[in-house]
Amino acid sequence: MTDQRFGATILDAAELRLSVEEKALFRDVNPFGFILFARNIDNPDQVRALCDDFRDCVGHNAPITIDQEGGRVQRLRAPVWREWFPPLEFVDAAGGQATRAMYLRYRLIADELFELGIDSNCAPMVDVAGPQTHDFLRNRCYGNDAMQVAALGRAAADGMLAGGVLPVVKHIPGHGRATADSHFDLPRVSAPRADLDAVDFAPFKALADLPMGMTAHLVYDAIDEAPATLSKPVMQVIREDIGFDNLIMTDDISMKALEGTLTDLSRGALEAGCDVILHCNGTLAERAEVAVAAGEMTDAAQTRALRALDARRTPDDIDIPALQSELEALLGGALHG
């Protein structure tokens, strides 16, 4: 394990390979990790080469993450990789076997990711669906019962960990009541604190041992006027009441839900208690601005980062075709979207 202090950022790339300027920036700011998007994906050899480039820049086995939930949010797509039904439809199709089905789904996803050099996934998403859940989130949810969602999230996380992939539980402490899309607007949740504790926060409390979590960009009126990502009171709830003391990254700091400069937002999120800033879909100058504003990890964040990396494991030795056949049988042959 490296002795160097990580930069408090997770950054992305503009294209299929790194530019000279990107390589120089990454060497200089030493981000904790990296994230991939569809624009970074062409074929397996290219993805492996890009992952190697990322890690060569920083000189250590940096975590590389991706959004591979399945359904609408998946960066690896057919015909090279498996297509998946949206999680909510998948859970409904699996019925009473949903827990096993979710384990198999994410164990198969982990196999594809690990083979490419990707060792983290921004899942499970354990936001609890409700009557008003916005369409951008609804079919990405696992259900409307908090404990069932927690059990399915645990199965998904276990499948990824068994496959050598670190899960990132999101969107902590709960995005299910949002009636706006935080990519474009700031949602406000007016539910009483007791309801939040009983429903929204419950799956995250059940999964508080997972190595990494991602914040929600929304306001909880019962706790604070500031968005959760920028709120010390909400971060205190996450750390103390929910009990999540592992690494917390922001959701993309450039999303329109948050107002302010990238510098102010990055510093504000770290001051609130986040450990690392996730920045996506920006220019090279914007990535540099975030990296400079975030600086190096605090002692506490570095400890959590090292603990997360220590959770990486060698994939278990299993028969992938047999697992796929089991899942197809469980779903009556309806595996793919």
The residues that are catalytic are: 183, 251
Token pair of 234, please?
Answer: 């909400």
The one-letter amino acid at 312: R
Is residue 27 a contact partner of residue 271, using CB atoms and an 8 Å limit?
no
Number of H helices, E strands in the chain: 13, 12
Token pair of 241, please?
Answer: 């009441």
Token pair of 305, please?
Answer: 């980062």
> CA distances (Å), 152 to each of 123, 244, 252, 279, 284, in order?
11, 18, 25, 28, 38
Angle between helices 20-29 and 284-294 (to 10 degrees): 0
Nearest partner of 252 among 220, 286, 215, judged by Cα: 215
Nearest partner of 105 among 126, 91, 125, judged by Cα: 91
The beta-strand segments (E) located in the chain are: 7-11, 31-36, 64-66, 68-70, 73-74, 120-121, 166-172, 188-189, 212-215, 219-220, 247-249, 277-278
Q: Beta 68-70 vs 73-74: how paired, if at all?
A: antiparallel
Token pair of 67, please?
Answer: 């959004």
Sign of the dihedral defined by the CA atoms of residues 29, 31, 34, 37, in that order: negative
DSSP state of 151: H
SS3 279: coil
Peptide bond into 131 cis (omega under 30): no
SS3 121: strand
